[in-house]
Structure 1
Amino acid sequence: MPRIQSPSSINLYKQCPRKYYYRYILNLEPLPSIHTLRGNITHSVLQHFFDVDTSKLTMKNFEEPLKTELQSLLVKFWNESKKNLDALSLSSDQLIFYFEETLMMLLNWFEKFTQKMKSFQGLSFSEIFQKLTPLRELEIASKKHSLRGFIDAIEDLEGEKRVMDYKTSKRFELTEEYRLQLAIYALLYEEKHGYPPKKVGIYFLKDTGKHEHTIPVDKALLVWAKREVAFVHEMTQSDNMGDYPKNITPLCKYSTGQCDYYEPCMVQKTIPELVQVKLD
């Protein structure tokens, strides 16, 4: 029976089969990082933003109350993550920097959201807010493709379904890795609903310019997703390390860090030793 794959596992295999082996065959968790933790906090804020009480808001007064709610949500989820943040052993200045940077990303997103709100004519605040409220944090699974994925947001803009993802990265381009992730989301959506979304895309939260990048979903995109999913299923049937070759690139070790599995990979630890690393 094939392993259950995800957009993340498929992209990880394509990046480096050996890294896939450590993560998904041996189940060695990646090292915690401020970027992963901050990303989780940001996603939580945007997930819960649309649940705030808007009963007293109008198109004339909504901006400051909603901005305050957004900031309060960041403080809430940041504080709830304090134990994990402290475990990173960052300095106070570093934590302040990442908090403020996260706040700026969220305010950037809010500015674009406000522009969308104001673009509607002849509707009340509640009607517009409801139109712009996406389905959030949805898990979609496919038995047919032995595949599952977590979708950040599914938007319905005048009957046009869009599957969107939030990214906190500093690069604002739809790389092949991002495109494949989005293609797999489109494939999952199509199987669940019987038709594909109109578009898939990413909100680059640091991007103060275009911010929102989308691509249309066509047959070629879905065929590509199916082909890549099938390929990774075929290549990951084995439990033997030797069937997962290293892909040595500058991502193995670089000026500011290294791959989470650099040490076990480069010193050629045995499987029992790796399992012990996990247990320790």
Structure 2
Amino acid sequence: MPKRVQSPSSINLYKQCPRKYYYHYIMNIESLPSIHTLRGNIAHSVLQHFFDADLSSLNMKNFEEPLRSRIQQLLIRFWGEKKDKIEQLDLSHDQLIFYFEETMMMLLNWYEKFVAKIKSFQGESFETIFKKLTPLRELEYQSQQHAVRGFIDAIEEIRPGEPRLMDYKTSKRFEMTEEYKLQLAIYALLFQEKHGRMPKQVGLYFLKDTQKHEYLMNVDKELLDFARREVAFVHEMTESDNINDYPKNITPLCKYSTGQCDYYDPCFVQKTIPELVQIKKK
């Protein structure tokens, strides 16, 4: 039986709860939509398309307002494109306004940091600086050797020969967790396998963080070995299709004050898999 192709998300999900991995990746039962997932996708789309701006009329003296307006218009556009899915969440009008405005705040926070980067360059034209800061965006990398793949949000190379792989986060926790470290380590492994060289750094942009904003790690052999071990471990543990080989990991994430795991019912209310599938279809 060929290995399942894993991803940073699937590997981290297995490490969080093997049973949840089973429902999602083996039974292919989709998780429920949420405003956090949808607005995260929207924010990523805005930042992906932001760099396609027309620069012909912009210079160091006049670029700030047009590009700020571009951020705002892109958010309105992509929020509108997800309107039907957002409405299905049955949020109140006040909640919708809150999440839209919070997403706008995050994007403008990122933009202010981007403006500061532009102004830090001296003696170059605006267009030259902008293009230097423009990353490769939303690139899929796949390893045949390790049977793992991932989408890298941004590959920056401000200094020639020193690429860094960056991921955008809309979470409220501003720390390099083990889950984030593993995600970035896998990206570094994928990059190294494809290009034959390690990236200089990997890191995160926490869009809500108005202070530090960028969290970076240097890439070394130890980080790549960490990724290899974790990928191999999850491959070994997910060879079976038997639910009994995927134990529950009971934690406060199963049920909490504002909700519960998407797979709480089959785990704790004893619904059968066919019943769960029917629920998801309704």
> Under TM normalisation by the shorter chain, which class is it?
over 0.9
Aligned twin of 2:202: 200
Q: Distance in 1 between matches of 2:96 and 2:55?
A: 32
Q: Count residues with an aligned counterpart.
A: 280
* Residue 222 of structure 1 pairs with residue 224 of structure 2: yes
Aligned twin of 1:80: 81
Whether the aligned pair in 2 keeps the contact of 1:26 and 1:275 (CA below 8 Å) is no
TM-score using structure 2 length: 0.98
What's the % identity of the aligned pairs?
A: 74
Q: Distance in 2 between matches of 1:95 and 1:275?
A: 29
Whether the aligned pair in 2 keeps the contact of 1:6 and 1:148 (CA below 8 Å) is yes
Aligned twin of 1:191: 193
Q: Distance in 2 between matches of 1:86 and 1:270?
A: 29
Where 1:154 maps in the other structure, the secondary structure is strand
Q: Distance in 2 between matches of 1:277 and 1:229?
A: 33
Q: CA-to-partner distance for each residue in 1:64-103, whole Å, 9 max, x for gaps?
A: 0000011000000011111011000101110000000000
Q: How do 1:9-88 and structure 2 match up within 5 A?
A: 9-88=10-89
1:269 shift after superposition: 2.9
Q: Which residue identity does 1:17 align to in structure 2?
A: P
* Residue 137 of structure 1 pairs with residue 138 of structure 2: yes
Q: Distance in 2 between matches of 1:41 and 1:124?
A: 31
Q: Distance in 1 between matches of 2:38 and 2:179?
A: 21
Match among 252, 261, 264 for residue 262 of structure 1: 264
1:278 shift after superposition: 4.3
TM-score using structure 1 length: 0.98
Q: Which residue identity does 2:22 align to in structure 1?
A: Y
Aligned twin of 1:169: 171
Aligned twin of 1:100: 101
Whether the aligned pair in 2 keeps the contact of 1:182 and 1:201 (CA below 8 Å) is yes
1:250 shift after superposition: 0.4
Q: Which residue identity does 2:191 align to in structure 1?
A: Y
* Residue 212 of structure 1 pairs with residue 207 of structure 2: no
Aligned twin of 1:125: 126
Q: Which residue identity does 2:230 align to in structure 1?
A: E
Q: Distance in 1 between matches of 2:26 and 2:274?
A: 13
Q: Which residue identity does 1:186 align to in structure 2?
A: A
Q: Distance in 1 between matches of 2:259 and 2:80?
A: 27
Q: Distance in 1 between matches of 2:273 and 2:169?
A: 34
Whether the aligned pair in 1 keeps the contact of 2:13 and 2:21 (CA below 8 Å) is yes
Q: Distance in 1 between matches of 2:191 and 2:163?
A: 10
Q: Distance in 2 between matches of 1:97 and 1:276?
A: 33
Structure 2 unaligned blocks of 5 or more? none
1:121 shift after superposition: 0.6
Structure 1 unaligned blocks of 5 or more? none
Whether the aligned pair in 2 keeps the contact of 1:140 and 1:189 (CA below 8 Å) is yes
CA RMSD of aligned residues (A): 0.9
Moved >6 Å (runs of 4+):
none
